[in-house]
Amino acid sequence: MFEKLKDLKTYEAGKPIELVVREFGIKPEEIIKLASNENPYGPPPKAIEKVKNIANQMHRYPDDSFFELKDALSVKFDIKNSNVIIGAGSDQILEFAVHAIAPKKVLMAGITFAMYEIYSKQVGAEILKTKSITHNLNEFYEIYKQQKPEIIFLCVPNNPLGECVDSKEVFEFIEKIDQNTLIVVDGAYQEFASYKDKNKEIKPKDILKYPNVLYTGTFSKAYGLGGMRIGYGIANEFIIQNLHKLRPPFNITTLSLAAAIEALKDEEFVKMGIVKNFEEMEKYKNFAKENGLDYIDSYTNFIVLYIKNSTKIAENLLKKGIIVRNMASYGFEALRITIGKPEENDKLLNTLKGMIS
């Protein structure tokens, strides 16, 4: 029983606040959680108000066509409703894609989003990874030519490292791949990358001219709806129609649907969070330079700092009520830190300074 799952690792989410409360007796309001790439500013106020107003409707299933949300996304991206599928987070769209194809081989970067490998191993696929931990598309192409994987995952920008290839490179790579191979472009952090550098921007509309490319996006990051679990996929109608065959009915909630629709109406609030994110990220870059630490230039809402004894330091931070992500499980000593509010970042950096000095 479960023989096919014996080598499959369980995805490790960031430690929840509740766990720290139980283990260390720290008051919830004194805990700083900077481990799960959540938006510290939350969703637009209109989304919160909408959820409050319809909370008494939670016994009702949502409109399973998701027409209003698809319509809003189609306007935002200048595409058709029929080019969109809605999922319980973009993770579910990734799962649909893998299960729809049931590939024998799947290609991804040396270090990237763990669920690519988890979903692929669920269907017995062989996992192919580049030697480079970041996205080296020349390496991708060499492995592709030799191994001919049925699915290629590109995380643009990449989680959990934060680096991002130029969109020009992505499209040049796509052009070289046979149309029988599905290319998944994971744009969970695209709002951040496209703000920081237009050369990184991938417009979902540009994906549609390719018959073998699926773009995924989420409301969990820039839109502050991580707790609502809602994402989307964008592709040509043939891909979307086939993914819909795997979608269970009512796969997102009535409340999450309403929140996403309202969040899309307040792009100014969303942009505010993105702007503050990169303003605050400068503190981490300066901290790294002042303390002789290397870091990965990030196009997301988190940053990776290379720090010796990262496991011990992460544990010591936890005891002080500061939750970060230790990267030791990926094979190197570093901390991945979500960019929080100014006072959260200041407290973390002041505490970290005392631990590494």
* Residue 331 Rama label (left phi>0; alpha psi -120 to 50; beta): left
The CA R_g of the chain, rounded to the nearest whole Å, is 20
Q: Evaluate if residue 352 carries a pLDDT over 70.
A: yes
**If we measure between CA atoms, which residue out of 143, 186, 144 comes closest to residue 165?**
186
Instruction: Examine domains 3-42+268-356 and 45-266 and report if their fold is the same.
Output: no
* Beta-strand relationship, 213-218 and 231-234: antiparallel
> Class for domain 3-42+268-356, per CATH?
alpha beta
Distance, in Å, from the CA atom of 260 to the CA atom of 64, rounded to the nearest integer, reads 15
* Beta-strand relationship, 322-323 and 32-33: parallel
Q: How confident is the model at residue 31 (pLDDT cuts 50, 70, 90)?
A: confident
Q: Evaluate if residue 320 carries a pLDDT over 70.
A: yes
Record the tokens describing residue 170, joined without a space: 């992505």
**Helices marked H in the chain:** 17-24, 45-53, 67-77, 90-101, 114-122, 137-147, 167-176, 190-196, 204-207, 237-244, 254-263, 267-290, 310-319, 342-356
In angstroms, the Cα distances linking 218 to 64, 222, 260, 274, 296 are 18, 8, 10, 15, 23
Q: How confident is the model at residue 18 (pLDDT cuts 50, 70, 90)?
A: confident
Q: Output the pLDDT for position 333.
A: 96
Q: Output the pLDDT for position 20.
A: 63
Q: Evaluate if residue 282 carries a pLDDT over 80.
A: yes
Q: Evaluate if residue 4 carries a pLDDT over 90.
A: no
User: 22-36, 185-199, 305-319 — which is least confidently predicted?
Assistant: 22-36
As a whole number, the mean pLDDT across the chain is: 94
First vs last Cα of the chain: how many Å apart? 51
**If we measure between CA atoms, which residue out of 205, 165, 182 comes closest to residue 94?**
182
Q: Output the pLDDT for position 28.
A: 74
More confident residue, 253 or 30: 253
pLDDT mean over 154-171: 98
pLDDT mean over 286-295: 97
Record the tokens describing residue 48, joined without a space: 């919160």
Distance, in Å, from the CA atom of 200 to the CA atom of 34, rounded to the nearest integer, reads 25
Q: Quick count: other Cβ atoms within 10 Å of Cβ 300? A: 30
pLDDT mean over 186-215: 98
Determine the angle formed by the axes of helices 137-147 and 167-176, rounding to 10 degrees: 10
Spans of all domains in the chain: 3-42+268-356, 45-266
Q: How confident is the model at residue 26 (pLDDT cuts 50, 70, 90)?
A: confident
pLDDT mean over 86-92: 97
Record the tokens describing residue 183, joined without a space: 């290319």
pLDDT mean over 68-76: 98
Q: Output the pLDDT for position 29.
A: 79
Give residue-wise pLDDT tens across range 242-280.
999 999 999 999 999 999 999 999 999 999 999 999 999
Residues near 170 by Cβ (< 8 Å), separated by ≥ 6? Answer: 137, 154, 156, 185, 202
Record the tokens describing residue 174, joined without a space: 């796509």
pLDDT mean over 36-51: 97
Instruction: Determine contact, residues 248/87, Cβ cutoff 8 Å.
Output: no
Instruction: Determine contact, residues 295/285, Cβ cutoff 8 Å.
Output: yes
User: 273-277, 301-305, 320-324 — which is least confidently predicted?
Assistant: 320-324
pLDDT mean over 318-331: 93
What architecture is domain 45-266? 3-Layer(aba) Sandwich (3.40)
Q: Quick count: other Cβ atoms within 10 Å of Cβ 92? A: 26
In angstroms, the Cα distances linking 338 to 23, 35, 303, 345 are 22, 6, 7, 9
